[in-house]
Structure 1
Amino acid sequence: MEGATPLNTRIAVVTGGSKGIGLEACKQLAGGGAITVVLTARDETRGAAAVEQIKRLGHAHVIFHQLDITDASSIARLADFLKTRFGKLDILVNNAATDGIEHVIDPVYGLTPGDEAFNGMDAGQRIDWMWTSCRQTYETAKQGLQTNYYGTKRVTEALLPLLRSSSDGRIVNVSSNFGLLSFFRSEELKQELNGVDRLTEERLDELLAEFLRDFESGGAEARGWPAEFSAYKVAKAAMNAYSRILARRHPELRVNCAHPGYVKTDITRNSGILTPEEGARNITSVALLPEGGPTGRYFSEGEEASFV
């Protein structure tokens, strides 16, 4: 019947799946065979339209479920749906994110410039353009942490029992090279965030609270936190650390972080080098690694790399 799930199929959830990297990841997973994809997004109209777009490609086993990763009741509704409908979850791709900044509108090209705006620019120049076209405020920094770290963490915790019900549960946290510890100026912060044998979730909470206090007082850079795109970098570094804590605690799961590359999306304001399809491939390749593969690792554009 319509919507029935084939036997022996894997169940995948992608957060932030209605556009950009998330949408392309849903397409790739749905086209991979024997996978039913649950595409989630905040906006029901956009999410339903994205599912129809994927179905028109011939991938029947994709369904939409509303999810706002900053809303506890929305997370709970998704968990209840998955438990009732499937009783397990095999793949969780935590893709939903925000940039943690306030955009300054380009007077020539608008909010999201076309490709012509970046002709002749290398990646560094494009990132410089992004930095000069934004403001960091305390409110956007706080929102950035709530979404990119705490939202992702709460989704993961809510779905952990279902992932543990799988014979081969996987979590891929969409990270960024902006989350590398090389952006931290304080050796003490670097060592603490990299020392996952000792680091706890409670200490991560304390560090994030310290960052927000330092940011609000104007002392974040002096304390050794990243200076540019601060909240985004701190949240992604915290998520990388949490992923490693989780991998150690749950050796039966595969928990990895994946940097998709510098992709043309809303977050990069179309300044990226790679297409969303190319970026998504760097995520789904990690989600579909062979059974018994690595866990607690960081992949940069499909290749295993250092968290530092």
Structure 2
Amino acid sequence: MTERKPHKCCGELLACQISIKTCDRRQHLQYYAIPFPKKVSIDHYPKRSPFRSSVQGRVTEMESAIPNPPNARIAVVTGGNKGIGLEVCRQLAGAGVTVVLTARDETRGAAAVEKLREAGLSDVIFHQLEITDAPSIARLADFLKARFGKLDILINNASILGVEYLLDPSLTSEEKFSGMDKGQRLEWLTSGVRGTYDAAREGLQTNYYGTKHVIEALLPLLQASSDGRIVNVSSEWGLRLITNEELKQELNDVEKLTEARLDEVLDAFLNDFKAGELGARGWPEHFSAYKVSKVTMNAYSRILATRHPELRVNCAHPGYVNTDMSIHSGPLTPEEGAANVVKVALLPEGGVTGAFFADGEEAPFV
């Protein structure tokens, strides 16, 4: 007999994203080859049905495990199923914050939540999110509005390197980098990737536009908080790597900079990439899309901080971390990198906004 995989609604049920009343019960019944009437309720399942008891019990257990007192702080972490994102979720939950862990892949995201719960962190729930997909972002916003009515902390961690990998991250061991300093590790990483136009474009769409669209969708919920915070996970690879001095000064002049101008800058970068003129035009040549996406996200964060002084909007460089993105070449552990991000997220109320933090300490953008 062929083993059946769980129906697509099961993951949402177990993550408390939908109730039994709203899930597609007829599809469940049909999927499990159980006869059904035109309209059914959970009572249609036999009282001793293993399916009924397991679903009801699991949903009830998960709902009761996530209290929602009026003063509870709610955080969303994008790209939370592994690496820095997972450790950010762990540390926030350990600090008493209710965490909505998001990830593109439902199976991996749900598994990450289960891992945290097994470690005793019960105030973590999962919601699917693809930051480059508008309907996915809208579903998250609707869920947060219905479930919590506000959002206190948004940590935009989801990101890609914007290159093609020539090496398999799963085949890299820490022993390979024994004795290497940071520069040698970066040199090795550079040799393991290749820049292409398509990868660069995807990098900008994810790191800049995807993050921006998440912020725009969740902004009303952050404004509903008495102390809304946005932390954009960034990089020390910033403005100092732009050798075009005129462009560097323009991107550092927050009072005059606009979102429309940032769009023009990104379009110009892609055009120069396609024409093979990155160096001649003053752009970084290695990991160029990643660096430019972080430069423009830093600039957008500063615009946002000026526009919304009631919020705390900051950028945080976690450090060079051992993750899949770095092909595990980073000297810092995910726990260490996450601590640098969480420190910014949990700054005292009324603290700095529109700032950049490197390794947990405030630093210049340039």
Match of 1:70 in 2: 132
Does the CA contact (< 8 Å) of 1:40 and 1:64 recur in 2?
yes
Q: Decide whether aligned partners of structure 1 residues 103 and 111 sit closer, same or farther in structure 2, where only a CA change above 3 A counts.
A: farther
Does the CA contact (< 8 Å) of 1:112 and 1:270 recur in 2?
no
Letter in 1 for 2:83: G
Q: Matches of residues 74-93 of structure 1 in structure 2 within 5 Å?
A: 74-93=136-155
Q: Which runs of 4+ in 1 moved over 3 A?
A: none
Match of 1:199 in 2: 257
**Secondary structure of residue in 2 paired with 1:17:** coil
1:151 to 196, 210, 233: 210
Q: Deviations over 1:246-271 (max 9, x none)?
A: 00000000000000001000111000
Q: Work out the CA distance in 1 between the residues paired with 2:171 and 2:282.
A: 32
Match of 2:339 in 1: 281
Match of 1:51 in 2: 113
**Deviation of residue 111 (structure 1)?**
5.5
1:119 to 158, 171, 178: 178
2:103 to 38, 41, 46: 41
Q: Percent identity?
A: 67
Q: Matches of residues 93-242 of structure 1 in structure 2 within 5 Å?
A: 93-105=155-167, 112-178=171-237, 180-242=238-300
Match of 1:18 in 2: 81
> Residue 303 in 1 paired to residue 361 in 2?
yes
**Deviation of residue 112 (structure 1)?**
4.4
Match of 2:26 in 1: none
**Deviation of residue 103 (structure 1)?**
1.0
Q: Deviations over 1:96-119 (max 9, x none)?
A: 00000011127xxx6541011111
**Secondary structure of residue in 2 paired with 1:39:** strand
How high is the TM-score relative to the length of structure 2?
Answer: 0.82
Superposition RMSD in Å = 1.0
Q: Deviations over 1:135-175 (max 9, x none)?
A: 10000000000000000000000000000000000000000
Gaps of 5+ in 2: 1-63
Match of 2:348 in 1: 290
Q: Deviations over 1:10-30 (max 9, x none)?
A: 000000000000000000000
Match of 2:308 in 1: 250
Match of 2:12 in 1: none
Q: Deviations over 1:108-136 (max 9, x none)?
A: xx654101111111000100111111110
- Structure of higher RCO (CA pairs closer than 8 Å, 6+ residues apart): 1
Aligned length: 303
Larger radius of gyration: 2
